């Protein structure tokens, strides 16, 4: 009980449940989750879910910049793949020349 008192869990949950009963939302689970997220924000805490969403957002923004910088969208990626394909295609072309030198 000391832990719950230390962190003010009972009053917080009581308040959320009272708000839930007063609001009667169609999705009570989402209502409670949103209430917990708001409480964490009010306490200055970043919950793991929000931290992960921030990381995903940063990653997507970075990838978007890389795609735009590489020539725009899928075309840039296609060119990179073609570049690899060209290098791979050069290896067989060199092999017959090497065989001819041996003869």
DSSP string, 9-73: HHHHHHHHHHHHHHH--S-HHHHHHHHHHHHHHHTT---HHHHHHHHHHHHHHHHHHHHHHTTSH
User: Do residues 33 and 52 share a domain?
Assistant: no
CA dist 36 and 42 (Å) reads 10
Q: Can you give the pLDDT at residue 92? A: 44
Please report, in tens digits, the pLDDT of each residue of the chain (103 residues total): 899 999 999 999 999 999 999 999 999 999 999 999 999 989 988 888 888 999 999 999 998 888 887 655 444 444 444 444 444 444 444 444 444 444 4
Tokens of 46: 């970043």
Global pTM value: 0.53
54 and 103 in a single domain? The answer is: yes
pLDDT of residue 68: 82
- Residues 30, 38: contact at Cβ < 8 Å? no
Domain that holds residue 8: 1-45
pLDDT value at residue 70: 66
**Do 52 and 90 fall into the same domain?**
yes
* Pair (2, 37) in one structural domain: yes
Q: Please check whether residues 30 and 52 belong to one and the same domain.
A: no
Clarify whether residues 56 and 98 are in a common domain.
yes
1 and 39 together in one domain: yes
């Amino acid at each position: 009980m000391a832990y719950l008192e230390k962190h003010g869990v009972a009053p917080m949950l009581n308040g959320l449940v009272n708000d839930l009963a007063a609001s009667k939302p169609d999705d009570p689970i989402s209502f409670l989750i949103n209430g917990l997220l708001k409480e964490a924000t009010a306490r200055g805490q970043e919950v793991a879910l929000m931290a992960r969403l921030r990381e995903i957002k940063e990653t997507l923004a970075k990838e978007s910049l890389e795609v735009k910088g590489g020539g725009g969208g899928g075309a840039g990626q296609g060119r990179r793949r073609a570049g690899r394909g060209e290098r791979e295609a050069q290896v067989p072309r060199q092999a017959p020349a090497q065989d001819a030198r041996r003869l």
